[in-house]
Amino acid sequence: MSSVATETAVTIRIDGQEVAVPEGATILDACDAAGVETPTICYGPTLTPVNVCRVCVVELDGSRALVPSCSRPAEEGMVVHTDSERVRHSRKMVLEFLATGVDVSQADELGQWAEHYGADPDRYVPGGQTMDEPVRVQDNLYIRDYDKCVLCYRCVEACGDDAQHTYAISVAGRGFGARISTEFDVTLPDSACVYCGNCVAVCPTNALQFKTEFDLRQADDWRPEDQTVTQTVCSYCGVGCNLELHVQDNQIVKCTSPDDHDVTSGNLCIKGRFGWNYV
Amino acid sequence: MPPRLRGHPLADLHFGDDQPTEAEQAAIDAIVPPADAATVVETERIVRGGRSRRHGLRHLLLPVLHSLQHEIGWISPGGLNGAAERLGVPPAEAYGVATFYELLRTTDPGHRDDVVHLCVDPACAMAGNNDLRTSLEAEGARVHDSPCLGQCERAPALFVQGVGRPDRVPSDDEEDFHLPQAGDPSLRVLRRVGEVDPTSLDSYRDHGGYEALAAAIEMGSDAVIADISDSGLSGRGGAAFPTGIKWRAVADEPGPDKHVVANCDESEPGTFKDRIVCEHDPFAVIESMTIAGLATGSPHGWIYIRGEYPRATARLESAIAQARAAGLLGDDVAGSGQRFDIEVRRGAGAYICGEETALFNSIEGFRGEPRNKPPFPTTHGLFSQPTAINNPETLINVLDIVIEGPDAYRSVGTERSPGTRLFCLSGRIGVPGLYEVPFGTTLGELLDLAGGPTGELGSVLLGGAAGVFVGPDALDMPLTLEDTREAGATLGSGVVTVFDDTVDMEAVVVRIAEFFRDESCGQCVPCRVGTQRQHEVLVELQASGRPLAPERSELIDDMALAMVDASICGLGHTAASAVRSALALGLIGNSS
C-alpha cells in the first residue's frame, strides 16, 4: 500500500498503460494510480487483504490462474489485463454467485458492479441453498443480519488483528455452511464483544447495522437522501477522534469516522461510536 | 518454538462462564500441562504480548481438541473454554477451528458410543456400502456417512471413532496384508512393503534401511540436492513440482528456522497409497524425511497424517521413537552434527488440509484455509518459515536416488517422467490394491496387471474426484505426466477407479459434486458458492431423467471457468474437472 512507499518505483503495464508505483504497492494500488476502477468486496483500505472474495481478480501474463489485485504486490515488468474476457467472466460469476445466496439489496456498490458485468443470478436452479439466517437483535447498539453476509472476513479482521484485538468473532463451519460467529453462537453481550462497532464500520453489505438504522428500515423510514453528515471531534477523551454524525430528522442515526483520519483510521470505541444519546 | 516466558495468565481474552468438567480438564492437561499454560510477561504490552504468546502455543490447539473429542465425545462450551484459556486462544477462534473438522463435534451427541464412519465414495458405493449400513444400523451402531476413508482396495470401508477407546479400522484386524506385486524385483518404492517388519528398526536395517542416510551424510547437502534435481523426481501428490528445485530453494534460505513436512493427509477419493506405505514401511518415511531435513538445513520435521489412519499413525510414532533412541533423530543425527526431529500431527477430517498451505494453517492451530500463493512454502511455509513439503511417495524415491545416483534412477520411466509411479486401483477391477509401475506403462497394461476389469469396462476415473474420467479408448494412453496432460487427463495422486457399464454414473458424478461441496473450506466465493451450485445442477439433472439442457450445460461451463480461474487453491481449480469430463464422455447428461 502507498503508506509503506519507498523511493524505489516499480513500473507495470495495465491494459497497455505504463504505471509507476512505489515498491510494496499492490496491483490494485497500481490500478488506482492508472485510473482503472476495480470492484472490491473483502478489500478495505484499513485492513490487511485477505483476498477471499476474488472480485478484484486480474489477468497477469505468465500466471495460469487470475490473481487477486488487492494482495498481489506489483513487480517490475508485470503485464496486467483488467478487462479481458476471463476477468470479466470471473468478476461476473463472483457477483452472480453472491446474489444467488445472499440478500445483497443493501449493498449498493455490489449492485452497480453486478449490473456492469451483466450478472444474472436468476439462471440457477430454483430453490437453491441460501444463507437462511434469522436477524440477530441482541442489544440496542447494532444488529447482525447474516442473510446479508458475503463472508468477506472484514468484520473478523477489524475485531481481531487489524484494529480492535478483541477476537469476539471468527468464521465457523465450512464451505457453504460457513458463518461469522461467536463461540457456540453465544449472544454478543455474552461474548468478548466490546461494542466498538468497528465491524459495523467495515461491513460492505449492511449485514451489520446500527440498531437505529435497522429500526428505521423496519419502519420503512430510512432516508439517506434526507440525511446530513456533521463532522466533529469526540468529546469523551483527549485522543481527538473525528466523528461523522449522520443526522436524519434532527436525530443522530449513526456515527462513523473517516478511514483516512490519521487518529482513527475509521475506528472508534463504544463511547464515540454509540455514546451520543445525550446530544 | 519461541522460548517460554514466565508471567501472568493472559488478561486480554474474554471467556464465558462455562467451565470444563474434571474429565475435560484432564483431557486438556494430557496435552498441555497447567505449568505450560499461555502467559504474558509483566513488561509486555498486554494486547501485543498476548497475541504473540498465543501464536507460541497455538499449534497445540488441534491436539487438545482431538483429546477432548476422544475423551468426551464432543467439544462442549466448557471444554472449549478450558482449551482456549490454557493455550491463550480466543474462544471464538477456537470454535472456528473446532467447527472446521468433520471428526470434531460441537453439539452434544447425547451418548458416548463410538461413531462408525462409513465411506460413501465411488469404490465403496460399488462394493455395497448401503447394505453394510443397513446391517450396522440393525446392530445398533451409530453410522455416520464419510468421504473416502482411504481403504478403497478393501471396500466398503469403515473407520470407528472411539470415545474413551482407541480409534480403530475393523479391516486392520482382519487383514492378512499382501501386496499384489509381492516379490516383483522391479519394485522400487514398494520394495520393502510386505517384506519388512514395520514395527522393527532392526528389520528395516536388514532390508537396507538407513544406508541412504549414511550415504547422504557422506555426500553432503549440495550433492544430495544436485542428485535429486538430476534425477528429475517430481512431486507425487498431484502438482508434480520438481523436488530438487523445492529442496534447493529451502536450503538456500538462511537461518535454522526451517521445516520439512511429510504430507500424509491423502484424502483424494480413491487414494490409499500413503496409508499402505506408512503402515508397512514407516521407517522409509522417517529416513527420507531425515535426509530432506539434513539436505535443506531444516531441524524441524512434521508429519501431518489423516485422522482416519490410526494404524499408520501408531507405526510412524513407533518408528520415530525407535529412530530417536538409536540416535537417528535428535540433536546429532547419526553423527552428522546436525539436528533433526519429527513431530506427528493428526488431521481431523478435512480434505482441504491436504493442500499444503491449508495443512500449515491446520498445524498452526488455525482453520485449514489455504493461503494465496505467492509467497510459496519454500519461503513462507509452516509458521511462515521456509518449508519443504512432500508426500511419502515422493520422499521414499529419494532413498534410491541417493544410493544409486540419478542415472540409475532415470533408467526406468520416460525422459520427462523418470522413475516409477504408485497407482491405487479400486472399483470393478480383478485385484484391487496398490501397484508400482514405471512411468510410461499404458493404462491398459496397468489394468491387466491388476487382473483386468471385471465386467464390460465403462470408464476409468484417473486422479480421483479432482481428476478426469476417461473411456475405454484411453487404454493405450501411456501413464506419464506429459501424455496425460496432452490428453487433457491427469495422474493426480495416482487414483485409478474402474467402472463397468452397469454402474449408475449419474449417482457417481452427483456424489463427486457433493464431495466438493462438503469439502470446500468456504473461504473464497468461486469455490464456496460454485461447488454448491454445481451440485444443485447435477441433482436437478438426476431428478429430471432428461438430457442436460443447453442452458444448464452453459451454466456448468461458466461456473467451472470461474472456479478454475478465480479460486484460491487447487480444490476450486479442480472441482469441476471430473464433472465436465463425465459430460464430455457422455457418461451422464444423455438420458431421454
Task: Provide the pLDDT for residue B176.
Answer: 86
Whether the per-residue pLDDT at B50 is higher than 60: the answer is no
User: Where do runs of H (alpha helix) occur along A68-138?
Assistant: 85-101, 108-117
| Cis before B2 (ω within 30) | no
Tens of pLDDT, residue by residue over B73-106, are: 999 999 999 999 999 899 999 999 999 999 999 9
CA quadruple A266, A272, A278, A279: dihedral positive or negative? Answer: negative
- pLDDT above 70 for B9: no
**Res B1 pLDDT > 50:** no
Tens of pLDDT, residue by residue over B100-126, are 999 999 999 999 999 999 999 999 999
On whether residue A248 sits in a domain, the answer given is: yes
The alpha carbon of A246 is separated from its chain's Cα centroid by a whole number of angstroms, namely 19
Q: Does A212 touch chain B (CB under 8 A)?
A: no
Q: CA-CA distance, B212 to B235, in Å (whole number)?
A: 20
The grid cell for A173 is 463451519
Report, as an integer, the average pLDDT of B176-194: 95
Residues of B in Cβ contact (< 8 Å) with A176: 517, 520, 522, 528-529, 531-532
Enclosing H/E stretch for A210: strand A208-210
**Which residues, in sequence order, are CB contacts of B42 under 8 Å at separation 6+?**
B7, B8
Domains of chain B and CATH, by start: 8-98 (no CATH), 115-174 (3.40.30.10), 201-409 (3.40.50.11540), 420-500 (3.10.20.600), 505-584 (1.20.1440.230)
Phi (first) and psi of residue B310, to 5 degrees:
-65, -35
Q: Where are the alpha helices (DSSP H) in chain A?
A: 27-33, 85-101, 108-117, 154-159, 198-202, 211-218, 270-274
d(CA B576, CA B533): 11
- Stretch (H or E) spanning B330: none
Mean pLDDT confidence for A132-143: 97
> Are A162 and A123 in the same domain?
no
CB contact under 8 A, A51 and B525: no
Residues A154 and A107 in one domain: no
Instruction: Mark whether A107 and A89 lie in a shared domain.
Output: yes
- Asked whether residue B582 carries a pLDDT value surpassing 80, the answer given is yes
* Cross-chain residue pair B568–A52, CB shorter than 8 Å: yes
Taking alpha carbons only, the member of B246, B242, B244, B251 closest to residue B229 is B244
Identity of the residue in A72, A101, A165 whose CB atom sits nearest the CB atom of B12 = A165
Q: How many domains does chain A have?
A: 2
Q: Tell me, what CATH number does A114's domain have?
A: 3.10.20.740
Question: What is the pLDDT, as a whole number, of residue B43?
Answer: 53
Domain assignment of residue A65, yes or no: yes
Rounded Cα distance, B584 and B170, in Å:
39
- Co-location of A165 and A61 in the same domain: no
- A183 to chain B, any CB pair closer than 8 A? The answer is yes
Residues A65 and A182 in one domain: no
What is the pLDDT of chain B when averaged over all its residues? 94
**Can you give the CATH number for the domain in which A268 is found?**
3.30.70.20
Q: pLDDT-based confidence at A130, cuts 50/70/90?
A: very high
CA distance B563 to chain A (A): 8
Interface touch B517/A176, C-beta < 8 Å? yes
Q: Report DSSP letters for B273-295, one per residue.
A: HHHHHHHH-HHHHHHHHHHHHHH
Chain A residues whose CB is inside 8 A of the B107 CB are: none
A279 in any annotated domain: no
Residues of chain B contacting residue A174, judged by C-beta atoms under 8 Å apart? 99-100, 350, 518-522
Residue B528 CA to residue B124 CA, distance in Å, equals: 26
pLDDT bin (cut points 50, 70, 90) of residue A6 is low
In the predicted model, what is the mean pLDDT of residues B483-509?
96
pLDDT classification of B49: cutoffs 50, 70, 90: very low
- Whether A123 and chain B come into contact, CB under 8 Å, resolves to yes
Domain termination site, one of A85, A107, A130:
A130
Q: Do A118 and A170 fall within a single domain?
A: no
CA distance A223 to chain B (A): 32
Q: Report the pLDDT averaged over residues B349-371.
A: 97
- Indicate whether A22 belongs to any domain: yes
- State whether A249 and A170 are in the same domain: yes
**In the predicted model, is pLDDT for residue B53 greater than 50?**
no
- Disruptive mutation site among B241, B565, B569 for chain A (greatest number of A CBs within 10 Å): B565
Q: Do B92 and A86 touch (CB under 8 A)?
A: no
* Domain-embedded: residue A89: yes
Q: Name the residue of chain A whose CA is nearest to B569's CA.
A: A65
Are the beta carbons of A55 and A72 closer than 8 angstroms? Answer: no
Structural domain of residue A13, as residue ranges? Answer: 1-130
User: Which is it for the CA torsion B284, B289, B290, B295, positive or negative?
Assistant: positive
A61 forms beta bridges with: none
Q: What is the mean pLDDT of residues B147-165?
A: 97
For residue B5, the model assigns a pLDDT of: 41
Q: What is the pLDDT of residues B362-388, one digit of tens each?
A: 999 999 999 999 999 999 999 999 999
Looking only at the bridges linking them, the beta strands covering B300-305 and B341-346 are parallel
In a domain, A14, yes or no: yes
Give which of B168, B14, B236, B318 is closest to A166, Cα–Cα: B14
Cβ neighbours for A172, distance < 8 A, ≥ 6 positions apart: A178, A179, A180, A181, A185, B95, B96, B99, B100
Among A87, A106, A130, where does a domain finish? Answer: A130
Q: Which of A161, A166, A170 sits opposite B95 (nearest CB)?
A: A170
Cell 484455509 appears where? B369
CA atoms within 13 A on the CB side of B284: 31
Q: How far apart are the CA of B169 and the nearest CA of chain A, in angstroms?
A: 26
- The pLDDT of residue B55 is 58
pLDDT value, residue B59:
95
Same domain flag for A118 and A237: no
CA distance linking residue B241 with residue B235, whole number of Å: 5
Cell of B303: 508429519
Is B532 close to A55, i.e. CB distance below 8 A? no
In a domain, A38, yes or no: yes
pLDDT score of B40: 61
- The answer to which of A162-166, B80-84, B311-315, B350-354 has the lowest mean pLDDT is A162-166
What does the pLDDT read at residue B7?
45
- Minimum-distance CB partner of B520 among A89, A175, A192: A175
DSSP string, B493-523: TTEEEEEETTS-HHHHHHHHHHHHHHH--S-
* Residues A40 and A152 occupy one common structural domain: no
- pLDDT at position B11, please? 52
pLDDT tier at A161, thresholds 50, 70, 90:
confident
Domain membership of residue A76 (yes or no) is yes
Which amino acid appears at position A197 of this protein?
A: G
Residues in A closer than 8 angstroms to B371, CB to CB, are: none
Could you please report the per-residue DSSP string of B345-370? EE--S-GGGGSHHHHHHHHHTS--PP
- What distances in angstroms separate CA A188 from CA A100, B88, B196, one per listed residue? 28, 20, 58
Q: By percentage, how much of chain B surpasses pLDDT 70?
A: 95
Q: Are residues A114 and A54 in the same domain?
A: yes
B273-280 and B392-404 helices, crossing angle to 10°? 60
SS3 B390: strand
Q: Quick one: pLDDT band at residue B458, thresholds 50, 70, 90?
A: very high
Are A162 and A255 in a shared domain? yes
- Considering the domain architecture, whether residues A182 and A81 belong to the same structural domain is answered as no
Of B301, B562, B275, which Cα lies nearest the Cα of B426? B275
Q: Determine the average pLDDT of the residues in A73-101.
A: 98
Q: Which of A112, A130, A148 is the last residue of a domain?
A: A130
Give the mean pLDDT of chain A.
95
Contact yes or no for B532 and A65 at CB 8 A: no
